[in-house]
Amino acid sequence: MKFNWGTGIVIAFALFMTFILYFVFEVQSNSKYDNDLVVEEYYKHDTHFQEEMARIQNAHDLQHKPSIKYTGEGVTVIFPAGFESDKVKGNIQLYRPSNKKFDFNTQIALTNSEIIIPQKKLLKGRWDVNMEWQYEGKKYLTKEVIYVN
């Protein structure tokens, strides 16, 4: 059988397709390449986008804003002195972009205008902190990115 350039193109094309299909199969079947969504029901989540933007704007418009910081003790959320601790309600969601198994929520229960999420609950790396809270009937949303050392 004679080997010409047309046969070479067909063989090269077949090898390329095999190469691509191998990697598609590898990524889809190997649990190391986890394809989790950020939000399970993102269509439902997106319908409330305008509400979320209004809550973010409410938090932005505050004269004295709560602060979210990482300290040696853990994540510390400090509300300004003007806020009455017993009137602040809501929850804090800590989202781990690299692995959803480590995501968790905690209720806001202020002690001396602050709440501390202990270091032992946190792994090293990036955390997205979303604090949804309500004060005197008005809803707020504060988002921060922190890095745990």
Residue 103 CB contacts under 8 Å (≥ 6 apart), including other chains: 93, 94, 95, 96
Residue 35's pLDDT is: 63
Instruction: Choose the CATH number for 42-148 among 2.40.30, 2.60.40, 1.25.40, 3.90.550.
Output: 2.60.40
What is this structure's pTM?
0.71
Structure tokens at 142: 């504060």
Tell me how long the chain is: 149
Domains of the chain, by residue range, sit at 1-35, 42-148
Residue 69's pLDDT is: 92
Per residue in 31-82, pLDDT (tens digit) is 776 666 666 676 776 778 888 899 999 999 999 999 999 988 899 999 998 8
Residue 146's pLDDT is: 93
Structure tokens at 9: 């193109």
148 neighbors 125 (Cβ within 8 angstroms) = yes
Residue 18: other Cβ atoms inside 10 A: 9
**Confidence category of residue 107, pLDDT binned at 50, 70, 90:** very high
CA distances from residue 115 to 43, 58, 95, 119 in whole angstroms, order as listed: 32, 21, 17, 13
Residue 21 CB contacts under 8 Å (≥ 6 apart), including other chains: none
Burial class (CB in 10 A: 0-12, 13-18, 19+), 92: buried
Structure tokens at 88: 């602040």
Residue 1's pLDDT is: 67
